[in-house]
Structure 1
Amino acid sequence: MTSRSVAFVGLGYIGLPTAVVMANAGVEVTGIDVNAANVERINRGEVTIVEPGLQDELTMALKSGRFHATTQQVHADIYIIAVPTPFTDSHDVDMKYIYSAAEDIAAQLLGDELIILESTSPPQTTAKMAQHILELRPDLAADGTNNSEGKPVVYFAHCPERILPGKAIGELKSNDRIIGGQTPEATRRAAEIYATFCTGELLPTNDVTAEMAKLTENSFRDVNIAFANELSLICDNLGIDVWELINLANHHPRVNILQPGPGVGGHCIAVDPWFIVAADPINARLIRTARNVNDSKPAWVIDKVKQAFSRTDATKIAVLGLAFKANIDDLRQSPALNIAVDLAEELPNAAILTVEPNITELPKRLKDFDNVQLSDYQTAIHEAEVLVLLVDHKEFRELPAAAIKDKTIVDTKGLWA
Structure 2
Amino acid sequence: MCEVDVCVVGLGYIGLPTSLVLATNGSKVHGVDVADSVTSRLQAGLATFEEPGLQDALDAAIGTDNLTVSDRTVPASTYIIAVPTPIGSDKSPDTSYIQAAAVQIAGHIQPGGLVILESTSPVGTTEFVAKTIYSLRPDLDSGDLAFAHCPERVIPGSMLREITVNDRIVGGLNPQDAARAATLYRTFCTGEVHLTDARTAEITKLAENSFRDVNIAFANELSMVAEGLGIDPWEVISLANKHPRVNILQPGPGVGGHCIAVDPWFLISSAPNETKLIKAARIVNDFKPSFVSEKIKRELESSDGTSVAILGLAFKANVDDLRGSPSVEIVEELASSRPDLLIRVVEPFITDLPSNFRQYSNIRLDSLEACLENEELIVLLVDHDLFKKVDMSLLATKRIIDTRGMWRELNV
Task: Place the TM-score, normalised by the shorter chain, in its bin.
Answer: over 0.9
Give the letter aligned to residue 341 of structure 1: E
Structure 1 residue aligned with 2:22: 22
CA distance in 1, matches of 2:305, 2:112: 66
Cα deviation, residue 142, structure 1? 3.5
CA distance in 2, matches of 1:170, 1:250: 30
CA distance in 2, matches of 1:3, 1:96: 29
Cα deviation, residue 315, structure 1? 2.4
CA distance in 1, matches of 2:53, 2:394: 31
30-39 or 295-304: bigger deviation:
30-39
Structure 1 residue aligned with 2:119: 119
Cα deviation, residue 56, structure 1? 0.8
Matched, 1:277 2:257: no
CA distance in 1, matches of 2:124, 2:396: 54
Matched, 1:156 2:127: no
Give the letter aligned to residue 164 of structure 2: K
The one of 292, 299, 302 aligned to 1:308 = 299
The one of 352, 357, 366 aligned to 2:348 = 357
Identity of aligned residues (%): 50
CA distance in 1, matches of 2:127, 2:95: 12
Cα deviation, residue 169, structure 1? 0.7
Conserved? CA contact 2:126–2:149, under 8 Å: yes
Cα deviation, residue 92, structure 1? 2.7
CA distance in 1, matches of 2:124, 2:90: 17
CA distance in 2, matches of 1:367, 1:355: 16
Structure 2 residue aligned with 1:268: 259
CA distance in 2, matches of 1:37, 1:303: 38
Give the letter aligned to residue 367 of structure 1: R
State the Cα deviation string for residues 147-172 of structure 1 (Å, max 9, x = none).
Answer: xxxxxx01110000000111101101
CA separation of 1:329 and 1:241: change in aligned 2, threshold 3 A: same
210-219 or 306-315: bigger deviation:
306-315
Cα deviation, residue 89, structure 1? 3.8
Conserved? CA contact 2:4–2:30, under 8 Å: no
133-142 or 115-124: bigger deviation:
133-142
The one of 384, 393, 396 aligned to 1:393 = 384
Matched, 1:82 2:85: no
Conserved? CA contact 2:52–2:158, under 8 Å: yes
Displaced runs of 4 or more, over 6 A = none
Cα deviation, residue 410, structure 1? 1.1
Cα deviation, residue 255, structure 1? 1.2
Matched, 1:334 2:338: no
Aligned length: 407
Conserved? CA contact 2:79–2:115, under 8 Å: yes
CA distance in 2, matches of 1:406, 1:8: 53
Conserved? CA contact 1:8–1:82, under 8 Å: yes
**Structure 1, gaps ≥5 residues long:** 144-152
Conserved? CA contact 2:4–2:29, under 8 Å: no
113-122 or 2-11: bigger deviation:
2-11
Give the letter aligned to residue 406 of structure 1: T
Cα deviation, residue 137, structure 1? 0.9
Conserved? CA contact 2:215–2:248, under 8 Å: yes
Give the letter aligned to residue 379 of structure 1: A
The one of 231, 252, 256 aligned to 2:243 = 252
85-94 or 52-61: bigger deviation:
85-94
Structure 2 residue aligned with 1:318: 309
TM normalised by structure 2 equals 0.97
Structure 2 residue aligned with 1:408: 399
Cα deviation, residue 316, structure 1? 1.7
Give the letter aligned to residue 337 of structure 2: E
Give the letter aligned to residue 224 of structure 1: N
